[in-house]
Chain A
Amino acid sequence: MNTPIINIEHIARVYDMGGEKVHALRDVSLNIYPNEYIAIMGPSGSGKSTLMNILGCLDTPSSGIYNFKGLDVKQMDDNDLAEIRNREIGFVFQTFNLLPRATALKNVELPLVYSGISRSTRREMAITTLTEVGLGDRMLHKPNELSGGQRQRVAVARALVTKPSIILADEPTGNLDTKTGIEIMHLFQELWKRGNTIILVTHEEDIARHAHRIVRIRDGEVESDTTNSNPVYA
């Protein structure tokens, strides 16, 4: 295969809780290539979210190497990391993390604000993306006027609108019922087909089965890294 978009080697993340050290990640090495569809699984507290935060440049490892698109993340300053989050990565969270007072449209526009894109272009791009996720008729609703599934669609649209290369989703279906969860998985599948790299954290085997590669984590270490030769299509 070609060069990895993400390359981590011997990553560790230690939280210092007032003298007591919590080893959230002990030693994780992974290569992730363009247009992969990966599920990260593992029991609660195993370090999945910690790993996602590091991959998404929200957090930095205590030790180890992280190369993003061949660039050493350790060498980057705060602004560089913000730019990577803005342009290269789209986040989808379990709790949606939408701005409660802003409309769906405004929420989707938000990352574009930080890309310095003009108002009219922003609007146009947000409308297009919301329409793609099937919310063309809900754009002026605020999050509390939308169902859980619709909120997560807004969040997906927000992750997509900057056309990032990687989508990181931490338990995107965790707060949704099975049927709505499947709908979101369908969206991810479409994204994968369009060439996006997708990294998905989940508890549920049913959800993980949509991915083409499954990485299992236990106690901050990779337990297994297998190919799913028979992915489910949503």
Chain B
Amino acid sequence: MKISEFIETTRISFEALSSNKMRSFLTTLGVVIGIFFVVLMGWAINGLDSTLDKTFNAIGTDMLYVDKWNWSGGRNWRKIEARKDITYAQALEFCKRIKSAEVVMPQGRAWGRQVQFKNQLLNGITIMGVPYKYALTPSGNVTEGRFFSQFEDMNSADVAVIGYNVAKNLFPDSNSLGQTLKIGGRSFTIIGVVEKRGTFITDFMDNQCYIPLSSFFGIFGSTGRSISIAVKAGSEAQLDEVRSEAIGIMRGVRNTPPGEEDDFAINESQAFREESKTMRIAVYGIGLGLTALSFIVGMIGIMNIMFVTVTERTKEIGIRKALGATRASILVQFLTEAAALCFTGAVIAFIICSGVIYATVQIFELTFPPYIPPGLLLIATFVSILVGIIAGLIPAVRASRMNTVDALRYE
């Protein structure tokens, strides 16, 4: 088949479709819905992935957190609860011994606390007691003001750096710097605001306040709580080395007998990767199920309408063959028509999807991109054309095999 013939064939296909607009539109509904789900699913997973990447970066891809608690589940809850707390002394000993880490520091954490600005209360805030070195971790990026200094740290200064949500809720349109925030009954001066770190799965990251560790102990006490240790490996490549050293030292510090399981956790950003797997599978499962279903319905619709079209146009097929159309020409003509039908459906789906995606992002304030990713657009277009070709194959073959004389006599 020559190119000029193929171009003409494509033109013929679109003309045939537009001469039967309503029928074409109804036929393509299944495909519209199918592509709609494909695109939406792809977009959701894409958004999920980019959100996860953001989360990893916020946690730090080269960070390890030695803790009593495991971030991700799957372990015996009772066993974890029965673990002894990591004491401040153990944490300090650990920090002293570890050699391979770039930065290492103990940190105290108090969950679900209340903070107060004038007469405004904010609940569910995590108070983090951290050394000044915390500024070196990804969590220490301040967008306003600064992190506290070594001097303030050593002197238990009453200074606080607040998380993004805390600033947004308490100081929606005023400057928080220099204001006084009450934490655990003590007044702190706000000196910095941390950049937005959380995503919709890690919103808690922005509901935190950071104060010097010594001040933290002053309010919440240093005993009766488990201290966690932040370890910055320096690079992802060094994670393995640092992790094994950390485990060895921690076992030593806690006198874990050989052969016994670790009685502490080494947490990493990878834990969220695990968590996200379930989400991905859920999105994929629902998306693929709905997509497959609507594609099957769509294909049956397209196949049906193509059979009708071929029968209706038997005479036309006869005429074309009499004038020199080969079987291949007729085959391509009807395949192109089926593909064009599906492609039109895909375009309609793209338009609907764009609207839905934009609205979703606006309403739920998602960090997902508010448009269809271009790669996905390409894939969906390809899939739609493929679906058309598969659905149109049998009718098109039938058209191409028609006996010319019989077709010409058809009324």
Asked if A58 and B4 sit within 8 Å, CB to CB, the answer is no
Contacts A99-B316, A119-B7, A119-B8 given; indicate if A114 touches B404 (C-beta within 8 A): no
Complex CA–CA separation, A58 to B403 (angstroms): 9
Please indicate the chain B residues that have their CB under 8 angstroms from the CB of A97 in the complex: 315, 318-319, 322, 408
Beta-carbon contacts of B286-326 to A below 8 Å, as 1s and 0s?
Answer: 00000000000000000000000000000110111111111
Beta-carbon contacts of A115-142 to B below 8 Å, as 1s and 0s?
Answer: 1111100100000000000000000000
Asked if A83 and B324 sit within 8 Å, CB to CB, the answer is yes
Asked if B405 and A53 sit within 8 Å, CB to CB, the answer is yes
Contacts A97-B315, A101-B15, A116-B2 given; indicate if A59 touches B404 (C-beta within 8 A): yes
Contacts A85-B324, A101-B19 given; indicate if A59 touches B408 (C-beta within 8 A): no
B294 to chain A, nearest CB (A): 32
Complex CA–CA separation, A82 to B317 (angstroms): 13
Complex CA–CA separation, A91 to B321 (angstroms): 11
Judged by a CB distance under 8 angstroms, whether A79 is at the interface is: yes
B298 to chain A, nearest CB (A): 26
Beta-carbon contacts of A77-91 to B below 8 Å, as 1s and 0s?
Answer: 011001101110001
A57 to chain B, nearest CB (A): 9
Judged by a CB distance under 8 angstroms, whether B116 is at the interface is: no
Asked if A59 and B320 sit within 8 Å, CB to CB, the answer is no
Q: How many A-B residue pairs have CB under 8 A?
A: 70
Judged by a CB distance under 8 angstroms, whether A234 is at the interface is: no
Complex CA–CA separation, A78 to B2 (angstroms): 17
Please indicate the chain B residues that have their CB under 8 angstroms from the CB of A114 in the complex: 5, 320, 323-326, 329
Asked if B323 and A111 sit within 8 Å, CB to CB, the answer is yes
- Nearest B residue to A122 via CB reads B4
Judged by a CB distance under 8 angstroms, whether B133 is at the interface is: no
Please indicate the chain B residues that have their CB under 8 angstroms from the CB of A82 in the complex: 321, 324-327
Asked if B326 and A78 sit within 8 Å, CB to CB, the answer is yes
Of the candidates A86, A101, A118, the one whose C-beta lies within 8 Å of that of B324 is A86
Asked if A58 and B315 sit within 8 Å, CB to CB, the answer is no
Complex CA–CA separation, A79 to B318 (angstroms): 15
Contacts A118-B4, A119-B4, A119-B7 given; indicate if A87 touches B405 (C-beta within 8 A): no
Complex CA–CA separation, A110 to B12 (angstroms): 11
Asked if B4 and A117 sit within 8 Å, CB to CB, the answer is yes
Beta-carbon contacts of B1-17 to A below 8 Å, as 1s and 0s?
Answer: 11111011000000100
B397 to chain A, nearest CB (A): 14
Interface size class of chain B, counting residues whose CB lies under 8 Å from the partner chain: 20 to 34
Complex CA–CA separation, A122 to B322 (angstroms): 18
Please indicate the chain B residues that have their CB under 8 angstroms from the CB of A110 in the complex: 319-320, 323
Complex CA–CA separation, A78 to B325 (angstroms): 10
For chain A, the count of residues having a C-beta within 8 Å of the partner chain is 29
- Nearest B residue to A80 via CB reads B326
Judged by a CB distance under 8 angstroms, whether A153 is at the interface is: no
A79 to chain B, nearest CB (A): 5
Judged by a CB distance under 8 angstroms, whether A213 is at the interface is: no
Complex CA–CA separation, A185 to B325 (angstroms): 28
Among B4, B7, B19, B320, which residue has the most Cβ atoms of chain A within 10 A?
B4
A98 to chain B, nearest CB (A): 8
B2 to chain A, nearest CB (A): 3
Contacts A79-B326, A99-B319 given; indicate if A113 touches B5 (C-beta within 8 A): yes
- A67-83 contacts to B (CB < 8 Å): 78-79, 82-83
Judged by a CB distance under 8 angstroms, whether A158 is at the interface is: yes
Please indicate the chain A residues that have their CB under 8 angstroms from the CB of B322 in the complex: 56, 58, 85, 91, 97
Please indicate the chain B residues that have their CB under 8 angstroms from the CB of A86 in the complex: 323-324
Complex CA–CA separation, A93 to B318 (angstroms): 12
B35 to chain A, nearest CB (A): 29
Asked if A115 and B404 sit within 8 Å, CB to CB, the answer is no
Complex CA–CA separation, A122 to B328 (angstroms): 21
Please indicate the chain A residues that have their CB under 8 angstroms from the CB of B19 in the complex: 101
Complex CA–CA separation, A56 to B329 (angstroms): 20
Complex CA–CA separation, A93 to B409 (angstroms): 11
Asked if B15 and A116 sit within 8 Å, CB to CB, the answer is no
A94 to chain B, nearest CB (A): 11
Asked if A116 and B5 sit within 8 Å, CB to CB, the answer is yes
Please indicate the chain A residues that have their CB under 8 angstroms from the CB of B1 in the complex: 116
Please indicate the chain B residues that have their CB under 8 angstroms from the CB of A78 in the complex: 326-327
- B1-55 contacts to A (CB < 8 Å): 1-5, 7-8, 15, 19
- Nearest A residue to B326 via CB reads A82
- A144-165 contacts to B (CB < 8 Å): 158, 162
Complex CA–CA separation, A118 to B319 (angstroms): 21
A96 to chain B, nearest CB (A): 10
B212 to chain A, nearest CB (A): 79
Please indicate the chain A residues that have their CB under 8 angstroms from the CB of B321 in the complex: 58, 82, 85
Complex CA–CA separation, A53 to B321 (angstroms): 13
Please indicate the chain A residues that have their CB under 8 angstroms from the CB of B7 in the complex: 119
Q: Knowing that A99-B319, A115-B324 touch, tell me 16 more A-B residue pairs with CB under 8 angstroms.
A: A78-B326, A82-B324, A83-B326, A86-B323, A87-B324, A91-B323, A97-B322, A111-B324, A113-B8, A114-B323, A114-B329, A116-B2, A116-B3, A117-B4, A119-B4, A119-B8
Question: Which 8 pairs of residues, A with B, have the shortest CB-CB distance?
Answer: A86-B324, A116-B2, A114-B324, A111-B323, A82-B326, A113-B8, A58-B404, A85-B324
Can you name 15 A-B pairs with beta carbons within 8 Å?
Answer: A79-B326, A82-B324, A85-B321, A86-B324, A98-B319, A101-B15, A110-B323, A111-B323, A113-B4, A114-B320, A114-B325, A114-B326, A116-B4, A117-B4, A119-B4
